[in-house]
């Protein structure tokens, strides 16, 4: 368990900069679309919004698989995963994401479904703009929650204590 938690924390830390890059790209492409009046950039915006949620979901699946040893299944597993991650599991782990983070992620979960099932040229530009405008705030919430959870993982694995001991010895 100790090494599983350390490895999970490391994977989470590696994924966060990629999520930020996706946020940056979505904002940049929306800006280009608005500056140039070129809706073709919106395809890239949609792809990055999709990528944001998919990236977060991969992290949450990894937590469920590593810590709880169970990932929801069935037709509503995406929604159930968000609920599972926003719930504290007594004697196992604290919540991974806050309720507020779950709400913002649920918007991107729903949009991910739309992107997978609708032609890009049929996406609504104002909805893309709305989701992109809210994206950085949602990312910041995700990042804060995941950093807090990584702290829990490191403490549970004894990493925080050994790091403190090494600093004290130096």
pLDDT of residue 160: 52
Residue 168 lies in a domain: no
Residue 12 lies in a domain: yes
pLDDT at 162 over 60: no
pLDDT of residue 1: 64
pLDDT band at 163 (very low <50, low <70, confident <90, very high): very low
For residue 53, give its domain range: 2-160
Between 115 and 60, residue with greater pLDDT: 60
pLDDT of residue 165: 47
- Cα torsion angle, 95, 109, 72, 66, sign: negative
Per-residue pLDDT tens over the stretch 63-113:
999 999 999 999 999 999 999 999 999 989 999 999 999 999 999 999 998
Q: Report the chain's mean pLDDT, rounded to a whole number.
A: 92
Short-list 88, 89, 90, 106, CA closest to 142: 106
Do the Cβ atoms of 59 and 146 come closer than 8 Å? yes
Residue 170 lies in a domain: no
Mean pLDDT of 48-75: 96
Give the total number of structural domains in the chain: 1
pLDDT at 147 over 70: yes
CA atoms within 13 A on the CB side of 125: 12
pTM: 0.89
Which whole-number Å values give the CA distances from 139 to 26, 109, 161, 168, in the listed order?
12, 14, 29, 35
| φ and ψ of 120, to 5 deg | -60, -35
Q: What is the CATH number of the domain that holds 143?
A: 1.20.120
Between 22 and 37, residue with greater pLDDT: 22
């Amino acid at each position: 368990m100790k090494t599983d938690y350390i490895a999970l924390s490391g994977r989470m830390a590696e994924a966060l900069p990629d999520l930020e890059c996706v946020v940056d790209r979505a904002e940049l492409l929306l800006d280009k679309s608005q500056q140039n009046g070129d809706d073709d950039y919106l395809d890239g915006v949609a792809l990055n919004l999709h990528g944001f949620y998919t990236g977060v979901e991969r992290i949450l699946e990894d937590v469920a698989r590593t810590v709880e040893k169970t990932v929801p299944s069935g037709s509503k597993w995406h929604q159930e995963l968000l609920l599972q991650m926003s719930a504290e599991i007594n004697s196992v782990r604290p919540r991974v994401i806050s309720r507020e983070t779950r709400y913002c992620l649920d918007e991107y979960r729903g949009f991910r479904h739309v992107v997978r099932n609708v032609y890009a040229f049929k996406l609504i530009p104002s909805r893309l703009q709305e989701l992109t405008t809210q994206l950085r705030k949602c990312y910041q919430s995700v990042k804060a929650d995941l950093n807090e959870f990584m702290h829990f993982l490191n403490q549970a694995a004894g990493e925080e204590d050994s790091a403190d001991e090494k600093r004290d010895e130096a």
